[in-house]
Amino acid sequence: MTRNGPIATVLALLLAILGVLGYKLSPRAARANLTLAVSACDPGLQTCTAALPGGGQLELTIEPRPIRPLQPLDLSVRISGPAVRRVELDFAGSDMQMGYNRPVLEGADGRFAGRTTLPVCVSGNMVWIATVLLATDDSRVAIPFRFNVTGH
């Protein structure tokens, strides 16, 4: 056995720990107290609603429809029920990493809005998940919606 064996093992373990910490502390991780099941509603086709835990409702609208890449999108979230202090809308490729795209929506009194643009997928079609992240004073809830974008 060489003397470098234990040192290499310790270094590999430290690198693994740093990798996990980096992921956990990155802005990409949703860090929700509660993540709801993916909704059957497609925000690329219609306004979608979801019941919120503890009462209340969320309404998500993404326009214009159908959703296309490289097209400015107007985002709207309306909330009835809990007092929400921050709303973000995280867009992630379902099967392919497409970069960080999480606009913070501006607003108050249950009405929040913002804009974003989705990138083009090289395959032409892309399944996306838009996750609404709601922050209240005591929790963070993630509400995911799945939709398809055709690249024409």
pLDDT tens-digit readout, 102-135: 999 999 899 999 999 999 877 678 899 999 999 9
Both structure tokens of 24: 């956990």
10 pLDDT higher than 60: yes
Question: Which residues does residue 140 pair with via DSSP β-bridges, in sequence order?
Answer: 135
Start-to-end CA span in the chain (Å): 60
Distance between CA 150 and CA 152 in Å, rounded?
6
> Does 55 lie in the same domain as 13?
no
The domain in which residue 1 lies consists of: 1-30
Which residue reads 């998940």 in tokens?
129
Percent of the chain having pLDDT more than 70?
Answer: 80
Q: What is the mean pLDDT of the chain?
A: 85
> Does 106 lie in the same domain as 46?
yes
Assessment of whether the complete model's pTM goes beyond 0.75: yes
φ, ψ at 101 (rounded to 5°): -145, 90
> Does 77 lie in the same domain as 23?
no
> Does 49 lie in the same domain as 1?
no
30 pLDDT higher than 50: no
Distance between CA 143 and CA 130 in Å, rounded?
8
> Does 113 lie in the same domain as 51?
yes
The more confident residue out of 122 and 66 is 66
Q: How far is CA 14 from CA 2, 29, 101, in A?
A: 20, 21, 30
> Does 1 lie in the same domain as 66?
no
> Does 81 lie in the same domain as 128?
yes
> Does 82 lie in the same domain as 51?
yes
> Does 109 lie in the same domain as 40?
yes
> Does 53 lie in the same domain as 22?
no
